[in-house]
Homo-oligomer: A and B are copies of this chain.
Amino acid sequence: MTMMTANNGVNVQALLDAREALKGAPEAAKFTWRASCKWQNGTHSSTNVEGFFGLGEEQKHKTESSFSADHPEIFASEDKGITPVEYLLVGLASCLTAGVAAVAQNRGIQLRSVESKVAGKMDIRGILGIDSDVRNGYDDIKVTFTIDADASKADIEAIVAQSQKRSAVYDVITNPVNVTVEVV
């Protein structure tokens, strides 16, 4: 008999080692993630992401990434990129998905495919200032996973629940974060 080992491409041992190492080094666990945005024209902007701070020093992604954001043509804009609110959905889906892969790996469960659809409902009377009782942001976001894995439905649901419990983006969206905006 051959013992098959799950391989989802996540180095769980490295993460467990990091957990042990950072238990005794709380300063190294303090990260700062950064982005730089430049207005282009109209509602179109470009935001670059490259460096961040963590493990006590400056870090860099392998490459600098640039993201265009804009409003769609139905808002009389040029649609030169997805909207800012759609970037939140990208962050949420990708965070939960990375978590699913990591948790499945930690539990020895082989994933074959993980797909999700995210839908965020928003009443734009908020941002247009029509009704002060209508919020600007999403009222409600729904994430629906379709997962093919060597596991029961109950085990798959437990993996998704654990991913949710440890997701940084899920936390930011479901709980308040302090944001300070200043002009220099």
Contacts and interface: CB of A to CB of B under 8 A. Distances in A.
A82 B180 CA distance: 23
A115 B39 contact: yes
A150 B17 CA distance: 54
Contacts of A109: none
Nearest to A122: B31
A6 interface: no
B42 A71 contact: no
A102 B71 CA distance: 11
A107 interface: no
Interface residues of A, number: 125
Interface of A: 8-11, 14-15, 18-19, 22-23, 26, 29-39, 41-45, 47, 49, 52, 54-55, 59, 61-62, 65, 67, 69-77, 79, 81-98, 100-102, 111, 113-130, 135-147, 153, 156-157, 160-161, 164, 166-184
Given A31-B121, A173-B179, 18 more contacts: A9-B44, A10-B43, A18-B76, A29-B123, A29-B130, A30-B121, A30-B124, A31-B123, A33-B85, A34-B89, A36-B116, A38-B114, A67-B94, A84-B92, A137-B170, A144-B184, A160-B181, A174-B178
